[in-house]
Structure 1
Amino acid sequence: MTQASLHPMLNVAIKAARAAGAIINRASMDLDILKINTKAPNDFVTEVDQAAEEVIIETLLQAYPDHGILAEESGRTRGNKTSEFVWIIDPLDGTTNFIHGFPVYCVSIALAHRGVIQQAVVYDPTRNDLFYATKGRGAYLNDKRLRVSKRTRMSDALIGTGFPFRKGDNFKRYVKMFEEVMQQCAGLRRPGAAALDLCYVAAGYYDAFFETGLQPWDLAAGSLIVTEAGGLIGNFTGESDYLYQREVVAGGPKIYGQLVQILTPYTRVIKAEEETATAAAAKPAAKSAAEAVAEDAAPKKRAAVRIKKSDNGAPV
């Protein structure tokens, strides 16, 4: 797709991503003076994250002042909270890489309409690589059409992942997954920026990707880029409910199916159809897309969690 043929909303997102990328690139040349705050152990935010997010939001709202915003650093404080259009923004995915000078990080911007991702941009400022997609029109890297890998055997597959890093993450569960996948594939990689990982699946660099603990802004743009490149994305049981479930698997169709089979026993998605139906009946009929996105992104209090067990009966 040439720039002239891009959807107007995608063009605005690209403009915003490039503006944020310029801020990130300038800051990367002087990391010694960078101010870093800790949101939680091993979870960092810099003044660059905040400046990049600000320029993205300003660019988007200047073009579409009535749209909603869900951003990693500022949440829902900006934009129209009742709009059916919601921009989902990660201004700097891979902050830990960035502050160490490890050149794997990106800007991620997606537009959801009534909860469905319609436009997506992931920009890698260190390589000047622009991944983008419009729903129904394919996925691209710069001007090149993307297609997922055609590999069909897990033993040939290169698979991307992300390690848990927050206090309270289930490290033992992850190590079991890691061990099982590692023994069945050709190799595992962990560069450290999930939005780029999903783009690597779309480009065929990886045959598949899986991770736990991700937020909507980590996944929103990359998920559309994967599907528009012919890939599949879901939770560990292969269902499409992944954006707010904190577990995701993506890949070319054959490897995706095999990886889902491996990961299904490790799912933490809670099945509660009856509770969901009851809650839906009790809810007001109308809810804006912005409210739905923010509500789903908020931490949930859940009762009666079912722990999945492995074949030997031990909790996983």
Structure 2
Amino acid sequence: MTTTMPFHADKTLLSDVATAVKTAGVALRDRYTPHARGVSMRGIAEETHANDEAVLDLLRAPLLRARPGSRWAEDELAGGPLPAGEWWVVDPAEGNINHVHGMEDWAVTATLVRDNRPVLTVVHLPLTGDTYTAVAGGGAHLNDRPLQVSAKTDLGAALTGTGQAKPGEDERTFRRIGDSVTAMLINGLVVRVSVPATTQLIHVAAGRTDAFWQFSDVRSGLLAGALLVSEAGGTVTDLAGAPWTTGSPDFLAAAPGIHAAALKALSPIA
């Protein structure tokens, strides 16, 4: 059964979601250190888990309360379609590995997904205080400023990016990433390979970079960025050129003027 909700109701909800995400961001910022924590796989895992646990409870209750009847997607590394209805797809520490290693590229994200379509998202960067938001049909914003994707039309002048979705990807995925970086180094200007996906996608939405692709279906890293980019005027597809969905095996978000050329460069990579 399809769930419908008027745009104005989603827009009203945005304030409550932003409050919850910013509150969680304070807790995550308080745990941040400018030096790396954890020198072994076990230590790194313990630190990332502690970050998640410190933040999750600050998000779950207020978000579920804000949308009665909504459900919580438990596994932040899961992919594929969700059952029908409303779901919160949340990453309490998007870029957790960066946080643990004393780097600044991390965020707190919350996205409301309705019948497998992202309809509202908040991405908060606690170190800068910046908040990226989008509501389906209402545009994308950085704080109160509307976002617009790049106007570039030449892939040769494009700054693009990719990265792995999670540790322990299979060897075929790693080889595809390597081949795709080579393809875009040949066809584009500069390629950034980094994590997490969301912090690359906010740059696409803001017109700072021109395209991002990923060989993965991990929902939590893509849903927020997909909505931000599309609401900022970008094109979001899979690498076959079909509209991206939660069931797509791969992902490309780009400025409209270079999307076709990026797709041509990347789609042969199998």
- TM-score w.r.t. structure 1 length? 0.74
Check conservation: 1:213, 1:247, Cα contact below 8 A: yes
Deviates more, 1:165-174 or 1:152-161: 165-174
Deviates more, 1:61-70 or 1:90-99: 61-70
Compared CA separation, residues 84 and 100, structure 1 to 2 (3 A): same
Check conservation: 1:71, 1:217, Cα contact below 8 A: no
Paired position in structure 1 for 2:252: 249
Check conservation: 2:21, 2:108, Cα contact below 8 A: yes
Question: 1:8: Cα distance to partner?
Answer: 2.2
Question: 1:245: Cα distance to partner?
Answer: 2.9
Question: 1:252: Cα distance to partner?
Answer: 0.7
Q: Does 1:14 align with 2:37?
A: no
Question: 1:118: Cα distance to partner?
Answer: 1.1
Local SS of the residue matching 2:31: helix
Unaligned runs of 5+ in 2: 1-8
Compared CA separation, residues 50 and 72, structure 1 to 2 (3 A): farther
Local SS of the residue matching 1:182: helix
Q: Does 1:220 align with 2:223?
A: yes
RMSD of aligned Cα (Å): 3.0
Deviates more, 1:176-185 or 1:236-245: 236-245
Measure, in 2, the Cα distance between the counterparts of 1:118 and 1:6: 8
Local SS of the residue matching 1:149: coil
Q: Deviations over 1:147-204 (max 9, x none)?
A: 0000000111000111474252422222211111111111011341111211110100
Local SS of the residue matching 1:265: coil
Paired position in structure 2 for 1:24: 28
Q: Does 1:202 align with 2:200?
A: no
Paired position in structure 1 for 2:143: 142
Task: Find runs of 4+ consecutive structure 1 residues off by over 6 angstroms.
Answer: 30-37, 41-44
Q: Does 1:182 align with 2:185?
A: yes
Higher relative contact order at CA 8 Å, sep ≥6: structure 1 or structure 2? 2
Measure, in 2, the Cα distance between the counterparts of 1:179 and 1:34: 32
Paired position in structure 1 for 2:168: 166
Partner amino acid, structure 1, of 2:25: G
Task: Number of aligned residue pairs: give it.
Answer: 258
Paired position in structure 2 for 1:100: 101
Check conservation: 1:42, 1:166, Cα contact below 8 A: no
Paired position in structure 2 for 1:47: 50
Larger Rg: 1
Check conservation: 2:148, 2:206, Cα contact below 8 A: yes
Local SS of the residue matching 2:48: strand
Question: 1:49: Cα distance to partner?
Answer: 1.4
Question: 1:83: Cα distance to partner?
Answer: 7.2
Paired position in structure 1 for 2:3: none
Measure, in 2, the Cα distance between the counterparts of 1:24 and 1:31: 15
Question: 1:30: Cα distance to partner?
Answer: 8.1
Measure, in 1, the Cα distance between the counterparts of 2:163 and 2:219: 15
Local SS of the residue matching 1:127: coil
Measure, in 2, the Cα distance between the counterparts of 1:10 and 1:242: 22
Measure, in 2, the Cα distance between the counterparts of 1:93 and 1:51: 14
Partner amino acid, structure 1, of 2:156: S
Question: Percent identity at matched positions?
Answer: 26
Check conservation: 1:50, 1:73, Cα contact below 8 A: no
Partner amino acid, structure 2, of 1:156: A
Partner amino acid, structure 2, of 1:259: A
Check conservation: 2:200, 2:212, Cα contact below 8 A: yes
Paired position in structure 1 for 2:90: 89
Measure, in 2, the Cα distance between the counterparts of 1:156 and 1:181: 11
Compared CA separation, residues 38 and 145, structure 1 to 2 (3 A): farther
Q: Deviations over 1:102-155 (max 9, x none)?
A: 100111211112222111111111211100011111100011100000000011
Partner amino acid, structure 1, of 2:223: A
